[in-house]
Structure 1
Amino acid sequence: MAPLFPSLETIDSRYRVSHGKTADKSGRFWVHDAVSNVPSLVKEKKSIELFSSEYYWTCAFGGALACGPTHSAVTPLDLVKCRRQVDPTLYKSNMQGWKSIIKNEGFGGIFSGIGATFIGYSFQGAGKYGLYELFKKKYSDLVGEKVAYEYRTYVYLAASASAEFFTDFFLCPWEAIKVRTQTTIPPFASSVFDGYRKITAAEGFGGLYKGLVPLWFRQIPYTMLKFASFERTVEKIYDTLPKPKSEYSTLQQTGVSFLGGYIAGILCATVSHPSDVMVSKINADRQPGETMGAVLKRIYGNIGFVGLWNGLPVRIVMIGTLTAMQWLIYDSFKLYVGLPTTGGH
């Protein structure tokens, strides 16, 4: 079996097609991409050594680019979703919600929480993608090449869970400000820094972390599915195509990333939705001194099992599109700087 994570020199020799013959697909899974066969724009950018510190920081920067702007772009949809999760009777539909918000709060009202969204999910994207690449390499080295290949789905799941666990410490304060701002009418704060000041003044710094546990329950399963399902979906897509991944153009490869990302996003949205509802309600309605167990019991008693799925169709559209765009941006960025794309052969 080929090395799990070979060097760039190995990739070059591995992927070089001799005598006009196409290399076998099955033996090239773990290197993810034929760097030597990518168009010249990418081939000229091989200065970043795979699995070096620069590699992980570059992946982190690509993750921030992928997550911060995309989450910010769907703020109007997220705003209505969060408000309907907290109060299902507030708006009859998304369109009616936007009309009501614009009428009562002005056009800028539909972008309530965008500052906290951009900051929080830029941090989250950087940590999630950068640490995922790091943990994937570390866990693969730990169990060995053969085991890592045979049980690669578990490597993806463990790496993504570990990455999200640590990343949520950076996301949680900004998520608290975002949710509090979006679920109060009129908005709780006029800006992200106004929200930070108000929460810490009233509840101390710990007030920014009161939703950390439900955030873990939402984000960790979401991220595990996001990465593992994306990796395996892209793998299956390339398995069904007539040529190996290395023989497709960068545009075609990023198209596969978009499709795989959308499929992964639908799965992510569905699995993590009940926790998403709880995060919204806990940040909006947890009483001072109330334990996590008590607030979860109280909220569930009020909304029931059905209430945990309120707003799911909207979230599927939002998260499906978000996830697809994030993988498209992330892999396009990796190609631009001369790194192999994620997933597939």
Structure 2
Amino acid sequence: MAIFESARHCIPTYLYSVSPKKSLILEEMASPPSANGAESKSFIVPAPSEPAKIEMFSPAFYAASAFGGGLSTGPTHTAVTPFDLVKCNMQIDPAKYKSISSGFGVLLKEQGVRGFFRGWVPTLLGYSAQGACKYGFYEFFKKYYSDIAGPEYAAKYKTLIYLAGSASAEVIADVALCPMEAVKVRVQTQPGFARGLSDGFPKFVKSEGALGLYKGLVPLWGRQIPYTMMKFASFETIVEMLYKHAIPTPKDQCSKTLQLGVSFAGGYVAGVFCALVSHPADNLVSFLNNAKGATVGDAVKNLGVWGLFTRGLPLRIVMIGTLTAAQWGLYDGFKVFVGLPTTGGIAPAAPAPAPAPTTSELAEA
């Protein structure tokens, strides 16, 4: 949990406050008692170390979800930049990057160790923005669509709620990601084009125009929307099944460590499914952002249908499985840190309504 403790200093201050005792001191310093002696009310959200202090589905809840999404997505994508580099080059130049092992060898020989992290800045910025939109808007749309459906239909068709909520969130998230993804692919697959974001971004705009940054948006939607729908719906389903069939203790009675372990395991399995459904579109995105003026037809003709589905797939399964597991672990770890419940699982049963008072009790009252 050390990573969450260090991240605490980066969290927007409106998400939490200091301990209750310190909060009281600060309130007394900031606002003197009223003339009639009544106590002044605090508008500060209590500290994240005290559970359940952020109201569910409040603006602070969605802000925390967005912050946790950015925190979990940007750094994890940056950490697997070497795998992403080899994968992208295998997709663009299979004659040179014939396999995973030889791909790493070619990259090391030509670019050195530093070459393994080429494009890490646009990766970090792009996927941090995407993760913030993806997780924050997913929580919003999941609640929004559940309210539209009503309690009965929301429970009955919960998988459809997950699919609709994640798809809606990803449409927005990809608009935030697309410019950085375009620059990242060009930097990673064209040695000598640019050192990174600072010189790569203006070169890309000069070459392709500002609208060129969004040339790959439709293929990106084609890759990311199915990916995210699978990521969230399968994760929610897998986690629910684990709590229902594999863990004898109800979720709300499990330790936080166990709950985070379930999130990590569910995330890895979900990541494998994500890689399978989104891989053809991933090949398209890499091809279009690498070749100036290229079209989807050019990509299909060059890669072939079989290559579209299989080129770079084993490496992407390993990369996306690990990536998705780490993201869910970090995201739910952050939620635990700020006092929110982990994602997914069987919700605790609603309390039974209080029995109606008897005639004698009403008479006594």
Query: Which category describes the TM-score, using the shorter chain as reference length?
Result: 0.7 to 0.9
Deviation at 1:201, TM superposition (A): 1.4
- Which residue number in structure 2 is paired with residue 225 of structure 1? 230
After superposition, the C-alpha distances for 1:256-313 in whole angstroms (9 at most, x for unaligned) are 00010001000000000000000000111141xx6xxxx1112211221111120101
CA distance in 1, matches of 2:316, 2:152: 38
Paired with 1:158 and 1:321, the residues of 2 have a C-alpha distance of: 25
Question: How far apart, CA to CA, are the structure 1 residues paired with 2:154 and 2:192?
Answer: 48
* 1:123-202 matched pairs, under 5 angstroms: 123-184=129-190, 186-202=191-207
2:302 aligns with: 302
> C-alpha displacement at 1:94, in angstroms?
2.2
Question: Which residue, 218, 221, 234 being the options, matches 1:216?
Answer: 221
Q: Does 2:63 align with 1:57?
A: yes
Distance 1:91 1:166 in 2: 34
SS at match of 1:92: coil
* Cα contact 1:331–1:341 (8 A) shared by 2: yes
Give the TM-score of the pair, scaled to structure 1: 0.84
Secondary structure of 1:144 counterpart: helix
* Residue aligning to 1:103: 109
| TM-score, normalised relative to structure 2 | 0.80
Q: What SS class does the counterpart of residue 101 from structure 2 fall into?
A: helix
Q: 1:104 Cα deviation (Å)?
A: 1.6
The Cα shift of 1:102 comes to 2.1
Structure 2 unaligned segments of length 5 or more: list them: 1-46, 347-365
Letter of the 1:214 partner, please give it: P
- Is the CA contact 1:180–1:188 (under 8 Å) kept in the aligned structure 2? yes
One-letter code of the match for 1:207?
Answer: G
Identity score, percent: 56
Is the contact between residue 227 and residue 277 of structure 2 (CA under 8 Å) also seen in structure 1?
Answer: yes
Contact 1:112 1:187 in 2 (8 A): no
Give yes or no for contact 2:73–2:128 (8 Å, CA) kept in 1.
Answer: yes
The Cα offsets for residues 221-271 of structure 1, whole Å up to 9 and x where unpaired, read as: 000000000000000000012111111111100000001000100000000
The amino acid across from 1:159 in the alignment is G
Shift of 1:187: 4.1
Higher relative contact order (CA 8 A, sep 6+): 1
Q: State how far apart, in whole Å, the 1-side matches of 2:106 and 2:315 are.
A: 18
Matched residue count: 298
SS in 2 for 1:190: coil
2:66·2:134 contact (CA, 8 Å) conserved in 1? Answer: yes
Shift of 1:46: 2.9
Listed as ranges, the gaps of 5+ residues in structure 1 are 1-40
- Choose 1 or 2 for highest CA Rg: 2
Q: Does 1:85 align with 2:86?
A: no
User: Partner of 2:243 in structure 1?
Assistant: 238
Give the whole-Å Cα distance in 1 for the aligned partners of 2:221 and 2:70: 19
Deviation at 1:314, TM superposition (A): 0.4
TM-superposed CA distance for 1:45, in Å, is: 3.4
- Deviation, structure 1 residue 145: 0.9
Work out the CA distance in 1 between the residues paired with 2:244 and 2:319.
Answer: 28
Displacement of 1:99 in angstroms is 2.4
1:205 & 1:42 partners in 2: Cα distance?
A: 42
